[in-house]
Amino acid sequence: MNFDAFIKLTSKVKNIPLPAEASQFKMSPPFRQELVKRHKEEMKTAKRAGVMALFYPDFDYNTHLVLILRNTYKGVHSAQIGFPGGKFEKGDTSLESTAKRETYEEVGVPIEDIEVLQEMTKVYIPPSNFYVQPYIGISRSTPNFIKQDDEVNAIIEVPLAHFMDDDVVITKRVSTSYSISVDAPAFELNGHIVWGATAMMLSEIKDLLKELL
């Protein structure tokens, strides 16, 4: 989709209700609801994070979404696909400012170039005890991406048309942080498997955009 057409569509995004958890649950792993029940007490003191679903024009002015492949490390989100973003820090004025700051740090998009269109529905992540607040944002110019080498293995530029294709929704056997493998709903984007919390957030974004198309 041409980026001007995308901007015109998303200008209406605040006028429609969010698909919310009903949309997220379509892409949730089969064990999620049980995990959330088990973590009921931990949720009361969960850490907070902000992430950015950033849309932008490529050099041909076609709309893309940026995701990242995280580096391998000792942690529950090692080597996973996600949005640019991270935990709320002392100097942040809001979770929106967290998402913008982390997007700049991880993929090099200047904070002043990021325009937030909509706050989406937050997602609780049991393994790391985080509440993650996603935002839909845009950069009106083509970013000069610079990855943060110590955290980001690769920057993944997903065409909007590819993301919106229903054929990218699959079921995949995945290894979880609980040392078990399960069949989970996932997106296959640019050859990468995206599942778990990121897939849940993507599901809500996709359903919201479908209402505008």
Q: Which pLDDT band, with edges at 50, 70 and 90, does 59 fall under? A: very high
Q: Which residues contact 62 (CB under 8 A, 6 or more apart)?
A: 1, 2, 3, 159, 160, 161
Q: What is the mean pLDDT of residues 183-203?
A: 95
The contacts of residue 129 (CB under 8 Å, 6+ apart) are 39, 42, 43, 45, 46, 47
Task: Identify the CA nearest to 103 among candidates 61, 138, 131.
Answer: 138
d(CA 153, CA 81): 10
Give the position of tokens 């950069």.
139
Q: Identify the pLDDT of residue 104.
A: 98
Average pLDDT value over all residues in the chain? 92
Q: How many residues are there in the chain?
A: 213
Asked whether residue 76 carries a pLDDT value surpassing 60, the answer given is no
**Confidence band of 41 (pLDDT split at 50, 70, 90):** confident
Structure tokens that stand for 198 in this block: 């990121």
Q: The domain 3-212 is classified under which CATH number: 3.90.79.10, 3.40.50.300, 3.10.20.30, 3.40.50.2300?
A: 3.90.79.10
Q: Are 170 and 195 in contact (CB under 8 A)?
A: no
Cβ atoms < 10 Å from Cβ of 199? 23
Crossing angle between the packed helical segments 3-10 and 196-212, to the nearest 10 degrees:
90
Q: CB 152: neighbour CB atoms within 10 A?
A: 20
Contacts of 69 (CB under 8 A, 6+ apart): 79, 80, 81, 152, 153, 154, 155, 156, 192
Torsion angle of C-alpha atoms 85, 89, 94, 100, degrees rounded to 10: -30
In angstroms, the CA 12 to CA 5 distance is 12
The mean pLDDT value for 53-59 works out to 98
The band of 117, judged by pLDDT with boundaries at 50, 70 and 90, is: very high
Confidence (pTM): 0.93
